[in-house]
Amino acid sequence: MGPIDFVGFYACFHADRLAVMEMQSGRRWNYRQLDIAIARCAGALRREFAVSLGDRVASLARNRAELLILHLACSRLGAIYAPLNWRLAASELQLLVNDIEPALLVGDTALDRAGLQGVSIDAIAQLISSSDPLPCERIDPNRPALMLFTSGTSGRPKGAVLSERNLAQLGLNSGYFSRVTHESRYLIDSPMFHLIGISTCVRPPLMHGGGVCISDGFDAATTLARLSDSDLAISHYFCVPQMSTMLRRHKDYDPNRLRRLTALFTGGAPHPEAEMLAWLDDDIPVVNQYGMSEAGSVFSMPIDIERIRARPRSVGIGTPDIAARIVDEELKECPPGTAGELLLKGDNIFLGYWRLPELNQSYLTHDGWFRTGDVAIWQDGYYTLVDRKKDMFISGGENVYPAEIESAISAFPGLAEVAVVGVPDERWGEVGHLVIVPCIGTEISAAAVLGFLETRIARYKLPKHLTLMAELPRTTSGKVQKQVLRATLLDNPKHAPADLES
């Protein structure tokens, strides 16, 4: 039997080329070694833990090479790999684990912090080095392979399930956008529980025979040193805009040392125009891309400084493999230049949300288009995101949904009403602004609110501002008008907030 996947193919085609390097340890795997490691991991999962077709394998750990090996081993077995966000609160993680019902939970010290029982990632590493490899089997591209959790406006996280076909299309699309070849090498700083860290920075280089360098986290000084290192020869770096801002503002920043980069790719949040133009002035292309857990890499600006400068707010164009429409509330096509909801179709679109059949129906039209919930404009071949149809905001590259925070604070004593909106923030892009209407005669302090929330939601979801109001703006049907509320907070000095800091 021939190669079973792209790693197996390159293990035959150019076995000695670097495939994976772990930055914190210096460990390296060429394609032959990576292929054997994946086969041994698959063997250990089946023999030691009885993982079989359709089972879930969850992880809760900071970036390391074994997470990538584990993911690809699950793909060979037909199991679903579900990386969990170690930034979540223990109660949030417990709910996710209960929902996934994993056959195996693997992790580092984050397991103990969350009060979860699982197998040490170090034990998995030992098994990978000693287990017998599982005989090769070809992968069914339609099998579920990866589950990425993305929060929802209902306050319940949703597991977006992607197949191998979806992930392969992500690799192809991103490869088209990003000039990926067998000589490409990606540095991965983004956490490997996100699409960026486990797929966007992994599938394109490995599908083209390139390499990935896995870091255990972002640090501006360390990242700049690595991007400047001629021996590492990093060609591609993908980050959220807040990370790129930290790089540019660091004392060690020198654009002349970054000429090796094909481009700096950003996504996950709007990129401030002034910051982007500053990179362009240093002759470094900063390429806006648009993607999501449910659809992978969708749009990208060309790697061309002048074309980027002409459209700094645009997220670019799609590949021939992606079908996109912009529609009004009645799902009728919007003319060019008119804002509407973005709909997508193609092999990149996920299989659906884990165990949420009714929600899946609401996100798919009768003829199979996925409703992104994002408002966009198409004009002259380029897409520009205008707003989010729902109330989500993005803080430091993390999706934050007000409903989750509102639900968490609802049990705080003395509240009559509560609402959360996202507001601009220089450091994080956006942060939460919590608005409370107290019960008559009740005094509420910022410190008490923060202390209450800290044990109930992840740290990055904590609002940074608090304002007390007499009432919330509402429609005639009683719904809170969040756009009106946000504008009021930003424009009216009498509503100056108290800062929520911990």
* Domains of the chain (ranges, CATH numbers): 6-385 (3.40.50.12780), 393-499 (3.30.300.30)
Each residue of 383-439: pLDDT tens digit? 998 766 677 788 998 878 787 788 788 778 888 888 999 999 989 999 999 999 998
Q: What's the pLDDT score for residue 394?
A: 86
Q: What's the pLDDT score for residue 3?
A: 58
Q: What's the pLDDT score for residue 156?
A: 66
User: Using the 8-state DSSP alphabet, how is residue 196 labeled?
Assistant: I
**DSSP alpha helices (H): ranges in 50-142?**
65-77, 90-100, 109-114, 121-130
Mean pLDDT (the chain) is: 91
Residue 468 has pLDDT above 60, yes or no: yes
Q: What percent of the chain has pLDDT over 90?
A: 74
User: Using the 8-state DSSP alphabet, how is residue 475 labeled?
Assistant: -
What is the average per-residue pLDDT within 233-255? 93
Residue 72 has pLDDT above 90, yes or no: yes
The number of residues in the chain equals 502
Residue type (1 letter), 336: P
Q: Lowest-pLDDT range, 264-273, 276-285, 291-300, 462-471?
A: 264-273
Each residue of 152-195: pLDDT tens digit? 434 467 999 999 999 999 999 999 999 999 999 999 999 999 99
Three-state SS string across 285-351, please?
CEEEEEEECCCEEEEECCCCHHHHHHCCCEEEECCCCCEEEEECCCCCECCCCCCEEEEEECCCCCC
Name the residue among 467, 458, 457 with its Cα closest to residue 421: 467
Model pTM score? 0.83
